[in-house]
Amino acid sequence: MRFEVTRRDVMRFAGGAAIGAALSPMPWTLTDDLAIWTQNWRWIPRPSKGERSTATTACALCAAACPLEANCVGKSPIALRAAGGAQPLCSLGLTGHHLPWHPARITRPQRIERGAARPASVSIEAVVRETARAMAAARSGSGSVVVLDSRPDRSGSWAWQRLLASIEGAVVVATPGTEGSSLDALDALSSDATRLTTLDLAGARTILSFGAPVAEGWGRLSECCPGDVTLVQVEPMRSRSAELSDHWLPARPGTEGVLALGIANTLISASLVPSSVTESIADFAAYTDIVARFPLARVAAITGLAADDIALTARELAANGPTVVVAGEQPGGGPLRRSDRVAILGLNALLGSAGRIVDRAELLSPRAGEPLAPVARLESLPGRSVALLVIDASAGDVAFPWHVVDRKLASSALVVALSPYLAGTARHADFVVPTAPFLEAIHEIPSSRTEAAPALSISAPLLPAREGAIDPVAFVRMLASAGQIDLGGDWSSTESLARERVARIHAAAIGSVAQPSESASLPVASLASADELWDALAKGGRWTGDRAAANPERRVELAAGLGVDLTREVGAAQASDRTLKLVPRAARETTLTAVVSPVLSKLYRESQLRRSPGSATLSPRTAAALGLRNVRAARILTAGGSAHVSLSLDEGVMAGVVELTVAPDLIALGDAARADHRMAIDLLTPAADGSWSSIDAELVEG
Amino acid sequence: MNPRGPLTFALGLASALALGWVAYPRLQYRSVEQPIQFSHKIHTGESVGMTCAECHPLGDDGRFAGLPSIATCEPCHTETQGTTKNEKHFVEQYVTKGREVPWLVYARQPENVYFAHAPHIGLAHLPCERCHGPHGGSDQLRPYQENRLSSYSRDIWGPSATRLARAEWEGMKMTDCSACHEAHGVRESCLTCHK
Ligand code: SF4
């Protein structure tokens, strides 16, 4: 008998085999084993083995410079935690030791050709040659040279200023959205425009925060206001700071300045402003006229808040002083509009806190008496004027829409970035120079714009720098030598300059060092040598200098800086009844860095505990009004472009508002970079003053 | 009805079941014998009467000292105890030469896991048997089984391929740790074990 195998036999056998396999443990254990196998590929870094030890230093991932203790095995940090009795590290700091192994880490200079599928490795000589050529062209008048500095006042910042001093019109500007940059608006209030001002937060009992993520580490407020502090948070969304605040005022996006004027109106009309205060305001009459145009009923209608809430807040601010009013950078949303900030920060003067608008004492530079290029504001640069842009993201990144900078670039501008990662702002560069990340090199954490006293922390390396990492100061030196610019001195690295600065502080014997495990600060004058001061800083200590002397002559002008948009009608008509206010949303720690740890990546992508990148959230009411109630995927349209987003509904989102998660992006979470990768934050088109905290958008199905 | 159809189907089903239940579990692991045989039972039994902690102590800093070094064995084993081939081999090849025994550790966690014995023994007062079962009373060392794909010890998944009807100490997967933590109301986060 012949047995012929037919196609039907094969199908039956395969069907039986498939069912049999599914009824056995094989596919399930195989899936598990394969998943583990993919985690153990040869090129995946492995924790080192060796002796256990601990080391103390400062977290360099944001301006808060939290002192940290690292558990190390075989000299590699395997766990970070707060040192001494310091406040706990945030999730970024806690996982900071993962970042040197992020998939977006680079150790060779990269060239990113527009339209090319992948970046290509190039030599550092080629990058220096091209950059020096662009610098030479700028010197001969083809445009300006600008350095975008994500952490001003470092020794590295000084090195750039020193290099640019020899190039006419070259300036250093703070990266848009840098923490504390909102306080720039204070300068518009001061009668003495020559001095940098800030707010003195010490001893404040009430903080009225407009968008500043004060409960997430912004501005070191936790140190400045110990004890019983009342926090009033004004923010359209239920951010972490809003959740932790004593009162949350969810004002409609873009109406924060109006709310400030409404509060001012109550303070003035209820005679809660003492006469000594009104005398310190140079244009009080003009200001009163403007404020009179914002009675409570009108402000309530514009902001969407109850008039009683606004009045009550104003009275509480006056009664529970000292009060400090801060305007900050919403995570991913940058600063509010400039006129809003002027209106908000002006409340400090009105609340009798004029003494709180103080001169900001400057941090000693690494070297004295050398020519330096000026520091400017990005908004002050003419459009399409920048021929060479250097993005110094070696000390951290800031999430901002690229359009804020792009509109300043000449059509043939060269963009060079310094960054440990091919991620974040560096993705927009033509060349990326690899630098050493946190824990692999010296990083300085100087006082930010929010601090009245100068301060400095040093984050010492706990890991050897990987081969290929270029020191930013050494890169400055390379550019100087390629451009035949004499910088003088023999400084050649971040460490050499940072040590010079520490030696200057020691020689001046000013201030003291707070050490993580000690309750009392160590006066600098008691330290025998600059090396001792260096060691104290490198072990997580923070040096704080003296505040600027009080300026009794200071008078403030509150009316002059208020923008036309505030003093005239507020809230332009909606473009259509489908128009929503788009507000960017992110956790603070994801907007200060180009990459996050794989642990956070899991949190964002698998747990649904945090909103994943590219997701938009709106209230069920708004969704119903737009016919999007059962829609899960949508397209978001703004003047900056369009993008597909996953849609979710949340009762906590304000009606007429769509919250878009802008950070971390997929590359930050560890996905491979693609040439066509579009960051959600780039959908936000900035206003003329460079702000992008809320913009108009439409949502359509698809 | 032509039985050929159901038969072919049954043949496919039976082959896959045999592959999945019998052949695959054997193929999945390779067995490696321990360098020498060792009887926990003799050491912890009445005649010697040692406790687990005498050879596997917690250090002064709370850290688990792991496997005993040859120096721990030396005081009793400078000379052969008894007449077994194993004992002779142990004394000649390891004790006399001062060489450490390259034990294959059944409970070794993968490299991405940091497991601390100290809180489990010192704070939670868990007996060794909770995770290691009756290992301390074993008379023979079973072969070490290494997963051919993941290179994990078989004890991580546990002896049963289905993981059904297991003893509480069988299996050391993350879900097993989490289940025990949950049962005891212990809070955990990713970074507790993965650094
Ligand atoms: S990122 Fe900032 S807030 Fe977080 S631990 Fe580091 S210094 Fe502290």
Q: What is the pLDDT of residues A617-651, one digit of tens each?
A: 999 999 999 999 888 899 999 998 999 999 999 99
Q: Sort out which chain B residues have CB atoms less than 8 A from A92's CB and list them.
A: none
Residue A226 has pLDDT above 60, yes or no: no
* Cα–ligand 1 centroid distance for A351 (angstroms): 31
A74 touches chain B (CB under 8 A): no
pLDDT at B105 over 90: yes
Distance A223 CA to ligand 1 centre (A): 14
Residue A60 lies in a domain: no
- Write down the pLDDT at residue A354: 45
The model's pTM: 0.84
Task: Name the least confident of A298-312, A512-526, B27-41, B44-58.
Answer: B44-58
**Subunit contact B28:A46, Cβ cutoff 8 A:** no
Using DSSP, state whether B149 is helix, strand or coil: coil
Lowest mean pLDDT among A101-110, A438-447, B105-114: B105-114
State the DSSP code for A556: B
SS3 at position A255? coil
Report chain B residues whose CB lies below 8 A from the CB of A15.
Answer: 9, 12
Strand-strand pairing, A633-638 and A695-701: antiparallel
Sort A139 into a burial class: Cβ within 10 Å, 0-12 / 13-18 / 19+. Answer: middle
Question: Is residue A45 within 8 angstroms of chain B, CB to CB?
Answer: no
Q: Which residue of B has its CA nearest to A9?
A: B8
Distance from the alpha carbon of residue B190 to the mean position of ligand 1, in angstroms: 19
In the block, which residue shows the tokens 């009105």?
A350
Distance CA B172, CA B152 (A): 11
Does some domain include residue A370?
no
User: Do the Cβ atoms of A16 and B110 come within 8 Å?
Assistant: no
- Least confident segment among A191-200, A461-470, A509-518, A654-663: A191-200
Q: Which atom of ligand 1 is nearest to the CA of A65?
A: 7
Are the beta carbons of A545 and A361 closer than 8 angstroms? yes
Give the rounded percent of residues in chain B with a pLDDT score beyond 70.
97
Range list of β-strands (E), A270-408: 323-327, 357-359, 375-376, 386-392
Taking only the tens place, the pLDDT of each residue in A478-505 is 999 999 999 999 999 999 999 999 999 9
Residue A639 lies in a domain: yes
Q: Which range marks the domain in which residue A644 is found? A: 568-701
How far, in Å, from the CA of A496 to the mean position of ligand 1? 25
Rounded to whole angstroms, how far apart are CA atoms A377 and A365?
A: 20
The answer to whether position A606 is within a domain reads yes
The structural domain count of chain A equals 2
C-alpha–C-alpha distance, residues B167 and B161, integer Å: 13
Residue A155 near residue A473, CB atoms below 8 Å: yes
Mean per-residue pLDDT, A223-243:
84
Question: In terms of Cα–Cα distance, which of A364, A363, A425, A411 is closest to A148?
Answer: A425
- Rounded to 10 deg, the angle between the A155-164 and A494-508 helix axes is 110
Angle, CA of B154, B133 and B192, to the nearest 5°: 70
**Residue A519, in any domain of the structure:** no
Burial class (CB in 10 A: 0-12, 13-18, 19+), A646: middle
A105 within a domain of the structure (yes/no) = no
Tell me the two tokens of residue A47.
Answer: 């924790």
Assess whether the C-beta atom of A439 lies below 6 angstroms from ligand 1: no
A96: helix, coil or strand? helix
Q: Which region among A113-127, A476-490, B46-60 has the lowest average model confidence (pLDDT)?
A: B46-60
Q: Which range has highest mean pLDDT (A217-231, A343-357, B152-166)?
A: B152-166
For residue A65 and ligand 1, the question of a CB distance below 6 A is answered with yes
Candidates B12, B110, B147; nearest CB to A16: B12
User: Which residue is listed with tokens 């220096």?
Assistant: A128
Q: Which of A25-39, A434-448, B99-113 has the highest mean pLDDT?
A: A434-448
pLDDT in tens, A298-307: 999 999 999 9
Q: Please report the number of interchain residue pairs, chain A to chain B, with beta-carbon separation below 8 angstroms.
A: 106
Evaluate if residue A244 carries a pLDDT over 80.
yes
Q: What is the pLDDT of residue A205?
A: 87
Query: Cβ A13–B8 below 8 Å, yes or no?
Result: yes
Nearest Cα residue in chain B from A78 = B195
Pocket test of ligand 1: the residue of A62, A98, A397, A445 to mutate, having most ligand atoms within 8 Å of its CB, is A62
Note the ipTM here: 0.85
Tell me: the pLDDT tens digits for A58-67?
999 999 999 9
Q: Quick one: what percent of chain A has pLDDT higher than 90?
A: 69
Q: Is A82 in the pocket of ligand 1 (CB under 6 A)?
A: no
Chain B contact for A9 (CB, 8 A cutoff): yes
A341-374: per-residue pLDDT in tens? 999 999 998 987 645 677 888 899 999 999 999 9
Task: Inspect the interface and report whether the beta carbons of B191 and A94 lie closer than 8 Å.
Answer: yes
Q: How many C-beta atoms surround the C-beta of residue A572 within 10 A?
A: 9
- Taking CA atoms only, the protein residue closest to ligand 1 atom 8 is A66
Asked if residue A142 is part of any domain, the answer here is no
What integer best gives the mean pLDDT of chain A? Answer: 90
What is the CATH classification number for the domain harbouring A578? 2.40.40.20
Task: Single out the residue of A160, A683, A105 nearest to residue A391, CA to CA.
Answer: A160
Range scoring the smallest mean pLDDT among A123-127, A429-433, A610-614, A663-667: A610-614
Q: Residue A519's pLDDT is what? A: 83
CA dihedral A170, A175, A180, A183 (to 10 degrees): 50
pLDDT of amino acid A1: 58
- Ligand 1 in contact with A59 (CB < 6 A)? yes
Task: Tell me how crowded residue B183 is: count the other CB atoms within 10 A of its CB.
Answer: 9
Cβ atoms of residues A169 and A144 within 8 Å: yes
Which of A56, A80, A89, A447 has the most ligand 1 atoms within 8 A of CB, as the residue to mutate?
A89
- Measured in Å, residue A84 CA sits from the centre of ligand 1 at 15
Q: Which of A472, A467, A448, A446 is nearest to A390 (CA)?
A: A472
Specify if A94 maps to a domain: no
Q: Is the dihedral of CA A581, A582, A587, A592 positive or negative?
A: negative
The predicted pLDDT at position B62 comes to 66
Contact status, residue A109 vs residue A124, Cβ threshold 8 Å? yes
Q: List pLDDT tens digits, range A255-314.
A: 999 999 999 999 999 999 988 888 888 899 999 999 999 999 999 999 999 999 999 999
Backbone angles phi, psi at A425, to 5 degrees: -60, -30
**CA gap A344, A338 in Å, rounded:** 10
* pLDDT score recorded for residue A451: 87
Closest residue by Cα to residue A319 from A410, A239, A404, A230: A230
Rounded Cα distance between A106 and A127, Å, is 15
**What is the model's pLDDT at position B119?**
87
Q: Residue A25 and residue B161: Cβ atoms within 8 Å?
A: yes
Q: Is the pLDDT of residue A203 over 70?
A: yes
Alpha helices in A293-337 (DSSP H): 296-303, 307-319
A531 touches chain B (CB under 8 A): no
Predicted pLDDT of residue A2 = 66
